[in-house]
Amino acid sequence: MNASGSPDFVESSRGRRVGMGQRLARFRRMLGPFFGLILITLLFAVLTRASGSFMTAYNWRTIGVQTVITATAALGMTIVIISGGIDLSVGSATALVTVVCALAVKDHGLSSSAALLVGVLVGVVCGVLNGALVVGLRVVPFIITLGTMKVFRGLAKWLSSSTSVDIPIGARTDWMREMLAIEPKGWLGIAPGIWMVLGLAALTATFMHVSIFGRHVYAIGSNQATATLCGVKVGRTKLWIYGLAGLATGLAGVLQFLYLRGTGDPTTADGLELKVIAAVVIGGGSLAGGEGSILGTLIGCLFMSILDNGCVHTGISNASQDVIIGSIIVAAVTIDRLRRSAEGPEGE
Amino acid sequence: MMNDETRLLRMEGISKRYGKTPALEGVTFELRRGEVHALVGENGVGKSTLMKVLSGATRPDSGTMELDGSPYAPGGPREALSRGVAMIYQEVMIAPHLTVEANVNLGQETGRFGIVRRGVHASRVRRVLELLDHGEIDPRERAGRLNPAGRQIVEIARALVSDARVLVFDEPTSSLNDRDSERLFSVISRLRSEGLGIVYISHFLNEVSRVADRYTVLRDGRSVATGTMEGVSTQRLASLMVGRALTELFPRVAHERGEVILKLEGVGGRRRPIAASLEAHRGEIVGIAGLVGAGRTELIRAIYGLDEVRRGSVRIRGLDSTRTNPSIRIAQGMGMLSEDRKGEGLALGRSIADNLTYPAMAKHARLGVLDLRSRRREVEGWIDRFRIKCRGGSEPVGRLSGGNQQKVAIARLFHQDADIFLLDEPTRGVDIASKVEIYRLIGEAAARGSCVLMVSSYLPELLGICDRIAVMSRGMLSQALPVESWSESRIMETATSGEPPATEGSDG
């Protein structure tokens, strides 16, 4: 046996050079989803080359606008998933928010902006309720939010008598229309909604990175027992996590209300939660907790929107679209997992 | 006589009952500043209960505690931590996805308006790591990427950041190799010279006699002896623990070597092992020594079909059987004991009966329906024969002590009628009395004509019970030589041959 080469027992804890390597690794982790994004874009560009309708500025603006609602809700979901939790009530809560917004204007005579504020508040209440139940009843979030998913949907139907609620024409102001306009005046030609979600994303990402709260969220998701042992107030942190997720859902609901041009629809956003969860996971989030990033989630959201939009432009039937989208999601996440396990030990 | 100057902690007359069973009966324990105090005793004698009382995880029924001359009665681990009492657990408590820095500061972050003060954190961690002489650990590294030794340092660093004055180490070397253990000992002596009081719990008596200044022996919930370590033999300590003179640490059951049953020819895996050749016979115990990471566990896993065999061949009873999987192996009469009892070896939440019969449940089933009565009867039989301390076959394995859990895991191999036993660290984290029983059981397996392949990092046991020993060094398995031709130093020499100089290999 020779005496050169690296020793066995130094598994991966050699110091110094790791700092750089680790930063690189974080960058590489983002590269996968990003590469996927480019790949499906190219795929659809080729598939639609005859009509050319996919690769137009107008269509990309549409995709941007279509991403806003998912992305807003996904900001909250990312935090929840990093903490090892899940929120299945996002779609229902979104519908509930649209209904409350519409009713506030129509039946209670609130101004549009006041109604939107109420809508956001409803989202927060939904989230805090989820958090309180998860912490108070010590039942896994999957079950709690499965329950509240039905409850919120039921509430939305009950409040609206199961029909869509329209606000008076006069209450539909210009800025409401502009918010998610595909070709808005000013704003550099990009809808204010997109700017908003980008701003929120930057804020959330920074917050998760530099705040004590952010660290505690990662710690709980990574190893809750350790977090508890180290004196992290796990219950209180979770309440905040679901409260923040509720805030994000409230904003998403308000945007959905605007997207529906001032209509409260109790059946809207059906299955939004699954789309949001898929986006987070495609962006590198782990349902086991401890992993996930805001940038990754944004990429995941864009991925989902391009998938939806591209399928429409290729002109494949609706039924086949579902099959294709489902398969691509599974494939994307699988490839990411394989790639990461090849990269070496990560976490446990 | 001890004066108040040096006394750091005093626990007096501590009693605790769980239901009717007394766990502690009037235990007295004293810890001085700047000493390492070993707390020894077999499993189930109340060491962990005593430490739970100390860390505030449980309240004693009676008794008093004093810390630094003032009364001490913590309401929980958090309060204990704030009074300066920290535990380093056997199961290392880290958040694998967080950086070393974030782990060390976890729960003790300083912030301004909720924003982490990075500078304060970083310098705090660096200072503590330097103090521990582990400055080579990068605070920005993810904790999950560290090896067990590095993770443990993270835990110790966390305790130091919280200004701990009393540090409890619970079996700290159970997942460390010799070199890392050595480094830990030097860390401990640094902490001692800083004036901390250290409680050291371990089954390894030779280790205890090296690091500790004083000892307290616990037996059946009582403190039966305490004194200075100097001049006390490990034999004497063991006798105090067991309560009778120990005649034999390595009982030998007579067995006779038969024909070759397992033959490895240049077996290589994905990264480890590189090449392993061995002929193992019926009625023989073959030990595999080597450093952690040398490829011993990987070899066992490859033989059992958990990992791919990329080169070479595995022959069983003369027939080539290289490409395989565990269910084929079980059918061929092979059984494996995992080194990771809690993660892989046992389903902790399931009953003893389930765990014991998983590989061969079909024995108790007809058309897929279990005959629970016959299974229960047989399981009770194994529990008696293996002296598993439990409330019955339906008790979840997770509630048993480490030694008894291990006995269940080994009983499983007997239950499935294994002919070839692959044992990976069969006595890790197990108390002395259980160890002796496990040695006896291994001997019995050989006596009934089975072949035992046993990986261990504990050299005395390999030398004590094996017939032949092979040493794994950086993926290469040495020739298996009769045990008489090996010594501890010779094994270490072989295991570390071909290594770069020691300064290169410092790992955290």
| Mean pLDDT, residues B133-146 | 89
A292 has a pLDDT exceeding 70 = yes
Whether residue B507 is predicted with pLDDT greater than 70 in this model: the reply is no
pTM of the model: 0.73
Average pLDDT of the residues in B87-97: 84
Element holding B289 (H helix, E strand)? strand B284-290
Residue B500 has pLDDT above 50, yes or no: no
Specify the pLDDT at position B303.
96
Write down the pLDDT at residue A314. Answer: 86
| Lowest-confidence pick of A141-155, B98-112, B493-507 | B493-507
pLDDT digits (tens, 9 = 90+) for B382-402: 999 888 988 889 999 988 888
Strands (E) across B236-283 are located at 260-268, 276-281
CA separation for the pair A197, B122 (Å, rounded): 33
Confidence of residue A187 (pLDDT cuts 50, 70, 90): confident
Whether the CB of A27 is below 8 Å from some CB of chain B: the reply is: no
The tens digit of pLDDT for each residue in B414-425 reads: 999 999 999 999
Chain A residues whose beta carbon lies within 8 Å of the beta carbon of residue B105: 215
| Rounded Cα–Cα distance for residues B88 and B72 (Å) | 20
Of A211, A222, A346, the CB nearest to B116: A211
pLDDT at B502 over 60: no
For residue A17, name the pLDDT band (cuts at 50, 70, 90).
very low
Is the predicted pLDDT of residue A189 greater than 50, yes or no?
Answer: yes
Q: Is A199 helix (H, G, I), strand (E, B) or coil?
A: helix
Selected residue with higher pLDDT from A346 and B201 = B201
Mutation pick from A1, A8, A17 vs chain B, by most beta carbons of B within 10 Å, is A8
Q: Output the pLDDT for position B376.
A: 92
Give the residue from chain A lying closest to B180, CA to CA: A9
Radius of gyration of chain A (CA): 22
What's residue A25's pLDDT?
A: 61
Which residues of chain A lie closer than 8 angstroms to B473, CB-CB? 1
CB-based burial label for B328 (10 Å; 0-12, 13-18, 19+):
middle
Judged against a pLDDT cut of 80, whether residue A159 lies above it is answered with yes
Query: Would you state the pLDDT for residue B246?
Result: 56
* Spatial distance between the Cα atoms of A330 and A326, rounded to a whole number of angstroms: 7
Looking at residue A77, what is its pLDDT? 97
Could you say which of A5, A11, A212 has the minimum Cβ distance to residue B147? Answer: A11
Predicted local distance difference test score (pLDDT) of residue A118:
97
Mark yes or no for CB contact B107/A230 under 8 Å: yes
Contacts of B98 in chain A (CB under 8 A): 215, 218-219, 222, 290
Sort out which chain B residues have CB atoms less than 8 A from A10's CB and list them: 147, 505, 507
Q: How far is A16 from chain B (nearest CA, A)?
A: 6
Q: Is the dihedral of CA B177, B178, B179, B184 positive or negative?
A: positive
Does pLDDT of B79 surpass 60?
A: yes
Is 60 exceeded by the pLDDT of residue A6? no
Q: Answer yes or no: is pLDDT of A13 > 60.
A: no
The residue in chain B having the minimum alpha-carbon distance to the alpha carbon of residue A4 is B500
pLDDT beyond 80 at B501: no
Mean pLDDT of A279-294: 90
Distances (CA, A) of B300 to B20, B268, B305, B428, B460: 44, 11, 9, 16, 21
Taking the Cβ of residue A14 and every Cβ of chain B, the question of whether any pair is shorter than 8 Å is answered with yes
How confident is the model at residue B245, as a pLDDT? 60
Burial class (CB in 10 A: 0-12, 13-18, 19+), B2: exposed
Average pLDDT rounded to a whole number, residues B336-364: 88
Number of helices (H) and strands (E), helices first, in chain B?
16, 25
Q: Is the pLDDT of residue A126 over 90?
A: yes
Distance from CA of A75 to the nearest CA of B (A): 20
Chain A CA closest to residue B499: A3
pLDDT of B78 higher than 60: yes
Give A132-156 pLDDT, tens digit per residue: 999 999 999 999 999 999 999 999 9
Q: Rg of chain B over CA atoms, in angstroms?
A: 24
Query: For residue B429, how far is the Cα from the chain centroid?
Result: 3
Q: Is B53 exposed, middle or buried (0-12, 13-18, 19+ CB in 10 A)?
A: buried
**Residue, of A130 and B69, whose pLDDT is higher:** A130
* Interface ipTM above 0.85: no
Residues of A in contact with B107 (CB under 8 A): 227, 229-232
pLDDT band for position A16 (cuts 50, 70, 90): very low
pLDDT for position A329? 81
Find chain B residues with C-beta within 8 A of A5's C-beta: 500
Q: What is the pLDDT of residues B265-310, one digit of tens each?
A: 999 998 889 999 999 999 999 999 988 788 999 999 999 999 999 9
In this predicted structure, what is the pLDDT of residue A346? 41
Mean pLDDT score, A2-18 = 36
**Closest by Cα among A205, A225, A239, A232 to B105:** A232
Q: What is the pLDDT of residue A19?
A: 47
d(CA A280, CA A88): 13
CB atoms within 10 A of CB A31: 11
The CA distance from A250 to A92, in Å, is: 11
The C-alpha torsion from B451 through B454 and B460 to B463, rounded to 10°, is 40
Pairing mode, if any, of strands B468-473 and B166-170? unpaired
